[in-house]
Amino acid sequence: MRIFIIGAGQVGTTIVQALHEEHDLTVFDLDPSRLEPLAHRYDVSTVEGNGASRKVLAEAGLAGADLLIACTSRDEANIVAAMISKAVSPRTTTVVRTTNPEYLEVWHEGQLDVDFIVSSEVETAHAISRSIGVPAARQTDVFADGQVQLVEFDVEAGSSDAILGVPLRDAKLPEDSKVASVIRGESMVLPRGDEVLRPGDRIVVIGSPAAAMAWSALIAPGKGKVTDVVIFGAGRAGTAIARLLLEQDIGVRLIEASRDRARFVAEELPRARVFHATGIEPDFLERERIGDAQVAIFAMRDDMKNHYAATLARVHGVGFTIAIVHEAQSVQVFERAGIDVSINPRAVTAEEIVRFAHDPRTQQVAMLEDDRYEVLDITTRVGSEYVGQTFRDMPINGALIGAIVRDGQAIFPRGDDVLRAGDRAIIFTESKRVPEVEQAL
């Protein structure tokens, strides 16, 4: 596929990283210093120029492009680029990144001529909401309208005896779920029945939402439903998170340092408790019992502020901390500081955008562990070699079918179930095997 990528910032770079092997990429940016490292590391063509210019796009051969991804940090430039593309080359699919949820709303109402819109804020909010909905999870994704969940857990020393030290085939695992992989250090294992889980393992589970909750209880016994979340920073990201959590009837407290912004958000979200405070005065934290919150989310614009506030909140006793990171290198710092989950909005956005570049049959893609593993959602072809085989007989060559969706119903296959043509298979695999798996099915 010929893909135009406009914007070579963090999002653009992540997308290039994910797509450069299989696709023919052209990257546009006004800043040559951002294009240079990309051109050195990957086999991509670069164009120094304005991606929202009709002339620049046309000269680069827009008519021959299958997909245009506009992912600069400027919403309006992205939208203009996509609209020019629609006018010049109607066959080119357009994907636009936006930081303003309002554009998403306008698009949903069909008033923006763009094929897909991805909002960093909304995607980030969903990512955070998922990791709160399943308390012990590091990362979760949903497939088939939420019927199938993919959850990543860190096995802890405190995890239930039902899963620790017992071979998987003998362990009492929640129904309708499968351990898709065990990541131990740098290696990934597709587990067989004799595999034994150990503290420190990171496991990927595919299963029903109920099973995901059950797993969560096994991994971290004693963590119940979340009802009290504190969000530091009521910017666009913080507000989007708050809105999503409130929709799930989770109590939200927002802490915002700007008086006007605090007032604005309080008007927008009547059910949230909004505080005008910096969030780092000990008096305030004490008085409002911030330490009692089950989850604290740090959504301020500055990574260092988030880092400091998160550490302080942990000192005050907050059990579970989630931070939004803006600089890729901050992730390590945050992990080292003991922050439970760090979410990079740009990575989340890139992940969301990359799914449009995959095989058209691929409905959704999740990327795990810095893009080394992927979860695919593929509809089985009629002529596939696997059709008619039972799952027990299927050779495991670096891929695992965690669930299938048949007639809109999710099925978690047992050994004697048979794969049929037209089934949507949720498959866990290594990134490098994606083309292979797509072909096989």
Partner 1 sequence: MKAPAGRARLVGRPRSLAVDVRGVAHLVGAMTKYLSLATLVPAAVALGASESPTPFLAAGAIAGGLGWLVERLTRGDHVLRAREGFLIVSLVWVVAAAVAALPYLLSGEPQLERPLDAYFEGMAGFTTTGGTVLTDIEALSHSLLIWRQLTQWLGGLGIIVLALAVFPRLRIGGRQLFESELPGPEIESLNVRIRDTARRLWILYVALTAVLIAVLWGYGLSGLDERMSGFEAVAHALTTIPTGGFSTNARSVEDYAAVTQWTFVLFMFLGGVNFALLYAAFIRRRPRQLVRDEEFRLYVGLLALGAIVLGAQLAAAGIHAGEAAVRHAVFQAVSIMTTTGYSSTDFAVWPTLAIMTLIGLMFVGGSAGSTSGSVKVVRHVLLGKILRRELDQTVHPEVVSPVRLNRRPVDERTLRAVSSFILLYIGIFIVGAALIAIDAARVGLDLRVLDAVGVAAAMIGNVGPSFGIAGPLGSLEPFSDVSTGIMIVLMWLGRLEVIPIVVLLTRHYWRST
Give least dist CB 230 to partner 1, A.
13
Please answer whether residues 96 and 79 qualify as being in contact, where contact means their C-beta atoms are separated by less than 8 angstroms.
yes
Q: Is 277 in the site for partner 1 (CB under 8 A)?
A: yes
Subset of 44-103 contacting partner 1 (CB under 8 A): none
Q: Is 273 in the site for partner 1 (CB under 8 A)?
A: yes
Please answer whether residues 353 and 11 qualify as being in contact, where contact means their C-beta atoms are separated by less than 8 angstroms.
yes
28, 103, 215, 275: residue in contact with partner 1 (rule CB under 8 A):
275
Q: Is 316 in the site for partner 1 (CB under 8 A)?
A: no
> Which of 16-24, 151-159, 242-250, 273-281 is the region at the interface with partner 1 (rule: CB under 8 A)?
273-281
Distances from the Cα of 80 to the Cαs of 76, 89, 116, 360, 435, in angstroms? Answer: 6, 14, 14, 25, 33
> Which of 5-13, 64-72, 193-201, 284-292 is the region at the interface with partner 1 (rule: CB under 8 A)?
284-292
Residue closer to partner 1 by CB (options 185, 270) is: 270
Residue closer to partner 1 by CB (options 40, 259) is: 259
Give least dist CB 267 to partner 1, A.
4
Residue with tokens 């330490």: 291
Question: Which stretches of 348-411 are assigned E, i.e. beta strand?
Answer: 365-368, 373-379, 399-406, 409-411
74, 138, 276, 433: residue in contact with partner 1 (rule CB under 8 A):
276
Give least dist CB 243 to partner 1, A.
16
Give least dist CB 274 to partner 1, A.
4
Residue closer to partner 1 by CB (options 232, 334) is: 232
Residue 325 CB-half CA count within 13 A: 20
Residue closer to partner 1 by CB (options 121, 256) is: 256
Subset of 346-375 contacting partner 1 (CB under 8 A): none
> How many other CB atoms are there within 10 angstroms of residue 242's CB atom?
26
What one-character DSSP code corresponds to residue 86? H
* Separation of alpha carbons 30 and 17, rounded Å: 20
Which tokens hold the place of 202? 């990171």
# residues contacting partner 1 (CB under 8 A):
15
Burial category of 400 from C-beta neighbours within 10 Å (exposed 0-12, middle 13-18, buried 19 and up): buried
* Separation of alpha carbons 23 and 28, rounded Å: 16
Q: Is 274 in the site for partner 1 (CB under 8 A)?
A: yes
Q: Is 220 in the site for partner 1 (CB under 8 A)?
A: no
Distances from the Cα of 227 to the Cαs of 245, 253, 257, 319, in angstroms? Answer: 10, 11, 24, 13
Give least dist CB 256 to partner 1, A.
8
Residue closer to partner 1 by CB (options 4, 275) is: 275
Site string (232-271) toward partner 1, x via CB under 8 A: ------------------------x--x--xx--xx--x-
Give least dist CB 248 to partner 1, A.
21
Please answer whether residues 77 and 96 qualify as being in contact, where contact means their C-beta atoms are separated by less than 8 angstroms.
no
**For the CA atoms of the chain, what is the radius of gyration?**
23
Residue closer to partner 1 by CB (options 127, 274) is: 274
* Separation of alpha carbons 275 and 284, rounded Å: 10
**Which residues contact partner 1 (rule: CB under 8 A)?**
256, 259, 262-263, 266-267, 270, 273-277, 284, 287-288
